[in-house]
Structure 1
Amino acid sequence: MYQAIDIKKYKTDEQITNVTAHNLRTSLSNNVNPKKTHKNKFFIGSADMDFQKELDDKLATCGKFRKDAVKVVNLVFSASPEFFKNGVKTKEWETLTQEFAEQTFGKENILYSVVHYDEKTPHFHISIIPRKDGKLNASHWFDGRAKLKAFHDNYHKAVKHLGLKRGEERKKPTYVSLEDYYKKVNASAEYEQKLDEKLDRVLTHLDNPSFSEKVNPWGFISKTLKPYIENMGKSLAHYREKAKKYDGIKKELDKAEDKIADYEAKFEEMGLKPTLTYEACRWHKSKLFPSSVPAVQEKKAPLSKREGEDLEYIPQPTTKKIKPR
């Protein structure tokens, strides 16, 4: 199980208004289950708070700042979905995350903090004004890779005893990691093959049921058919994703083939063929773009015919020097 942190900086009033409407649930998005919104838990602020007044009051203490300054930072803390199955650890995680935010940014700089339980995976929104020494200064915490790494590391120290891992830092793929990736791809293919084989066995059973299955079809459904259908349902997302990728690749290939056919037709109109020699290409270029080819005295070569080609004129450049004008 892993910890997860997302950090977003906001500069404009429109950006701040939109994210606040989502976090305080004054505007519901499609991924929100309104029947569970009452389970959301506020540590600072409330769903009906006057957010704009709270923001204006805090910004008034920051002195002068540029128009493009970061006014609000929204942090989202979460973890692997299975972590939240443990209610005791979840409550401790809430407390520790709130304490970490207060110690890091100061409680007086937190606009609101709320845990959302009305989406697929629980997560903790903490919205702050990045005030440091009386001025807006988001770079104090989030400027550069080193500071972001330290932020993630410090949070991990606070929650690692709950069984949450830090997560790997971003790095370039190595030979080993790529090899591991392809192993997973091959494992996926093997899994699909096993699933197909299992489906064949189920269909065979349906066509040729045993005597006990004829007598008790409900037993066959519950023991064999139902588990397979449930397993198949879990795999649908996997197949849909692969289908989308294949569909995209097919479209790209179709476009490439159309372009190739178009170029081949154009080359044929120009009298160009894949087997043309360098001298023949140079001759064609001189006819198409006379000014781009230096003047060279040429002597006619006899017509030649290659197997499978039409007769064509192949100029032969001479070694005779041309006097300068």
Structure 2
Amino acid sequence: MDDNNNDKCIFRISKINEQRHLRAALAHNLRLENTPNINTELSHKNMHANGYSTIDECMRRYQSSIKGLKIRKNAVLAHEVLITGSPEHMKKLTKHEHIAYFNAAARWLIQLHGGELSNLLCFSVHYDESTVHAHILLIPKINNKLNSRGIIGGARGRLSELQTEFYERVAKRFGFTRGIKNSRAKHQHYSELKNLRSNLRTTANSLALAKVEHAKIIDELDNSKKVLTHVQNELKQIQRLEYTALKARIAQLEQNISRTYRPR
């Protein structure tokens, strides 16, 4: 949503389809895992909503909220929402305004997700990364059914509609502007970035192993060349010895013959 202006609101929403992914998101949001690229000296400024500070607390709310629901195998179990804005504008806002902005976003999201507070699973504000932002996890439960499609929709244009609603109902009053619709600007969710970093580490490790194997092969090749050279030298020496011995034998035979048939 960043189109060369410094006051854009940022709203991203993604689906979570498995409980293990939900736990992983909670671990990240609650800072219960080693998170790359954070300033741990600022982590004490992070904030989590009361009663949402551990994975167990959040999962108990989740289990309570979905109790009795029929859940399809491919159902979307939760939505993760990232709320922030252009770094320049976020720095202009006071801490009080940050909290007001994130609280307004949470209230709007709860209404969007069926209007029940019990559908809110986690609400964390992070000050330990480059730009202050909030992560909000919610259950997409409407009329006692999991219905992600009813919130996000199946059409690509629905996300643009949600971004407009977010701007109109939340971000506008905090001095943000809306990004250009259908902008080609791309944003990477943390999980995508984490996967890319993991893939990069895997590739780097594979490359390091390949370099070691390459060095071993070069050493083995050098040793093979040395052995071959040694064998070739030995063979030449043997050939020389055989030739010298053969010449000596011939000379001896010639000498014997000359003695045997010497004229009298």
TM-score range, shorter chain: 0.5 to 0.7
Q: Which residue of 2 aligns with 1:89?
A: 97
1:172 deviates by 7.5
Q: Which residue of 1 aligns with 2:124?
A: 114
- 1:159 and 1:35 map into 2 onto residues whose CA distance is 29
Q: Which residue of 1 aligns with 2:63?
A: 56
Structure 1 pair 8–45 and aligned structure 2 pair: CA distance change class (3 A)? farther
Q: Aligned letter for 2:28? A: H
Structure 1 pair 151–168 and aligned structure 2 pair: CA distance change class (3 A)? same
Q: Aligned letter for 1:90? A: H
Give me the CA root mean square deviation: 2.0
- 2:63 and 2:100 map into 1 onto residues whose CA distance is 32
CA contact (8 A) 2:11 2:166 kept: no
Structure 1 pair 82–34 and aligned structure 2 pair: CA distance change class (3 A)? same
Q: Which residue of 1 aligns with 2:208?
A: none
Q: Which residue of 1 aligns with 2:175?
A: 163
Q: 1:75 aligns with which of 81, 84, 87?
A: 81
CA contact (8 A) 1:44 1:114 kept: no
Q: Which residue of 2 aligns with 1:22?
A: 28
- 1:31 and 1:44 map into 2 onto residues whose CA distance is 26
Q: Aligned letter for 1:102? A: I
- 2:160 and 2:70 map into 1 onto residues whose CA distance is 30
Structure 1 pair 65–26 and aligned structure 2 pair: CA distance change class (3 A)? same
Q: Aligned letter for 2:49? A: F
Q: Which residue of 1 aligns with 2:157?
A: 146
TM-score (norm 2): 0.60
Q: Which residue of 2 aligns with 1:10?
A: 16
CA contact (8 A) 1:45 1:113 kept: no
1:40 to 2:51 alignment? no
Q: Aligned letter for 2:135? A: H
Percentage identity across aligned positions? 27
Q: Provide Cα deviations, 1:167-196, integer angstroms capped at 9, x if missing partner.
A: 0122589xxxxxxxxxxxxxxxxxxxxxxx
1:65 deviates by 1.5
CA contact (8 A) 1:10 1:70 kept: yes
- 1:6 and 1:76 map into 2 onto residues whose CA distance is 5
**The 10-residue stretch of structure 1 (146-155 or 133-142) with the greater mean CA deviation from structure 2:** 146-155
Instruction: Choose between structure 1 and 2 for higher RCO, CA contacts under 8 A separated by at least 6 residues.
Output: 2
1:64 deviates by 0.8
Structure 1 pair 89–171 and aligned structure 2 pair: CA distance change class (3 A)? closer
Point out where structure 2 has 5 or more consecutive residues left out of the alignment. Answer: 1-6, 186-264
Q: Which residue of 1 aligns with 2:242?
A: none
- 2:111 and 2:50 map into 1 onto residues whose CA distance is 14
Q: Provide Cα deviations, 1:263-291, integer angstroms capped at 9, x if missing partner.
A: xxxxxxxxxxxxxxxxxxxxxxxxxxxxx
1:44 deviates by 5.2
**The 10-residue stretch of structure 1 (35-44 or 150-159) with the greater mean CA deviation from structure 2:** 35-44
1:17 deviates by 1.8
- 2:183 and 2:84 map into 1 onto residues whose CA distance is 22
SS at match of 1:25: coil
CA contact (8 A) 2:27 2:55 kept: no
- 2:97 and 2:26 map into 1 onto residues whose CA distance is 28
Q: Which residue of 2 aligns with 1:129?
A: 139
Q: Which residue of 2 aligns with 1:209?
A: none
- 1:44 and 1:81 map into 2 onto residues whose CA distance is 27
| Rg larger for | 2
Structure 1 pair 172–78 and aligned structure 2 pair: CA distance change class (3 A)? closer
Point out where structure 1 has 5 or more consecutive residues left out of the alignment. Answer: 174-325
Count of equivalent residues: 172
TM-score (norm 1): 0.49
CA contact (8 A) 2:17 2:76 kept: yes
- 1:14 and 1:103 map into 2 onto residues whose CA distance is 26
